[in-house]
Homo-oligomer: A and B are copies of this chain.
Amino acid sequence: MQRVDELDTPVMVVDLDVLEGNIKRLQDEVDALGLTSRPHIKTHKIPTIGHMQLAAGAVGITCQKLGEAEVFAGAGFTDILVPYNILGAPKLERLTRLARRVRMTVSVDSEVTARGIAEASQEAGTDVGVVVEVDSGGHRAGVQTAREVQTLARAIADFPGVSFQGFMCYPSRPQMTDLWAEARDLLSRDGIPVNVISGGGTGAQRLSKENGCTEHRSGTYIYNDLSVLRSGNCTLEECAMNVLVTVVSTSCPGYSTIDGGSKTFTNDALRQDDALRKGDSNGHVREYPDVFLERMNEEHGVLSLSRLPEGAPRPKVGEKVHVIPNHACGTTNLHDVVYGYRRRNGEEIIEAEWPIPARGKIR
């Protein structure tokens, strides 16, 4: 029986009781709203956890890259959405190979992309589901108006090899209510059925419902992180992911340095306005809530002690502490393995050692 504090650091550890609670809570909420749940696996990248999400009631999963979909299709998942524009011969070949075995749906925001998928799928003799991505304000992908949705949906409906399924956006936002209604209305007049309207974002399930979605995609809720905590969408007790690190230096006055930096946590900033970010930590140290992770190099995380009350205990060289990172998904992507534990009689007992097979799938 191994305890978390016996692990070499830095190492990612997940509280299994909290994880299971997060899965149940989200599914209950989405059920109560009358939405289907299609969790995004990018946060954990581990098929075992995906199966827990399916067992709780998810209708399928979301993967952001084909490489992730390949891992999960190989692990028994049969209904996969990749909300991304798939382009180029190598990816189209991989997409149709997947579509021969499992139900694949992808998003598009241009006719160029839709046509490429249709041609590849027709040639392969497969059927790929397609949803139109709409920009909900992030300005990274997605068409802008309901009219553009209609134009693209009409084209997709006419293409062979693909089935138009509906729309999606990320994240759900208040302004989508009118846009979804208008798009639904336009397609209804065209006689093009809309099977799914997919919204997303941890904490945004109620907004997805208000928008008129049928489906909700959440990723980060499974672990939660400092960004979700600071945005008010979880409590400290609902944060399942920790990185255990060791204090390696206290020789610079006013600072303590831990053995995890941007190669362990990423340099992803907190998802909130600059004013808050400036004064906030880049990681919550459970044992020392008053220290803040001021900055990171690849292998160094520098804890500022400037807010510690006079005379308060300070991190010591060799001491191990638990850090909740800014961004769970990015952190997962940097680790090859995660340990699952349960807290029993004040000890953290390790119960699972999970490799992370969909880590690093950039293609």
Report which A residues bind B (CB closer than 8 A). Answer: 8-11, 42, 64-65, 84-85, 87-88, 90-91, 109-110, 112-113, 116, 135, 138-144, 148, 246, 248-255, 257, 259-260, 262-264, 266-269, 297-300, 302, 317-318, 329-330, 333-336, 360, 362-363
Q: A9-B88, A298-B64 are in contact. Are A140 and B252 (CB under 8 A)?
A: yes
Cβ contacts under 8 Å, A109 to chain B: 249, 251
Cβ contacts under 8 Å, A84 to chain B: 248, 259, 299
Q: Evaluate contact between A65 and B299: CB separation under 8 angstroms.
A: yes
User: Is the contact region of chain A dominated by helix, strand, or loop, or is it mixed?
Assistant: loop
Show 23 A/B contacts (Cβ-Cβ < 8 Å), sorted by A.
A8-B91, A9-B88, A10-B363, A42-B298, A85-B249, A87-B246, A87-B248, A87-B317, A87-B318, A109-B251, A110-B317, A112-B317, A112-B318, A113-B248, A140-B249, A141-B251, A144-B251, A144-B253, A148-B251, A263-B330, A266-B267, A267-B269, A360-B360
Q: A112-B317, A262-B266, A318-B88 are in contact. Are A139 and B362 (CB under 8 A)?
A: no
- Name the residue of chain B whose CB is nearest to the CB of A84: B299
In the assembled complex, the CB of A120 is this many whole angstroms from the nearest CB of chain B, namely 13
In the assembled complex, the CB of A260 is this many whole angstroms from the nearest CB of chain B, namely 7
Question: How many angstroms from the CA of A320 to the CA of B304 in the assembled complex?
Answer: 43
Q: How many identical chains are in the complex?
A: 2
Question: How many angstroms from the CA of A10 to the CA of B362 in the assembled complex?
Answer: 7
In the assembled complex, the CB of A344 is this many whole angstroms from the nearest CB of chain B, namely 23
Question: How many angstroms from the CA of A248 to the CA of B86 in the assembled complex?
Answer: 8
In the assembled complex, the CB of A132 is this many whole angstroms from the nearest CB of chain B, namely 10
Partner of A267, one of B144, B268, B299, B317: B268
Q: Evaluate contact between A113 and B8: CB separation under 8 angstroms.
A: no
Q: Evaluate contact between B91 and A363: CB separation under 8 angstroms.
A: no
Q: Evaluate contact between B252 and A330: CB separation under 8 angstroms.
A: no
Q: A85-B249, A264-B362 are in contact. Are A140 and B8 (CB under 8 A)?
A: no
- Name the residue of chain B whose CB is nearest to the CB of A268: B267
Question: How many angstroms from the CA of A235 to the CA of B74 in the assembled complex?
Answer: 45
Question: How many angstroms from the CA of A139 to the CA of B255 in the assembled complex?
Answer: 8
Question: How many angstroms from the CA of A297 to the CA of B268 in the assembled complex?
Answer: 9
In the assembled complex, the CB of A303 is this many whole angstroms from the nearest CB of chain B, namely 10
Cβ contacts under 8 Å, A11 to chain B: 363
Cβ contacts under 8 Å, A336 to chain B: 360
Q: Evaluate contact between A140 and B334: CB separation under 8 angstroms.
A: no
- Name the residue of chain B whose CB is nearest to the CB of A170: B297
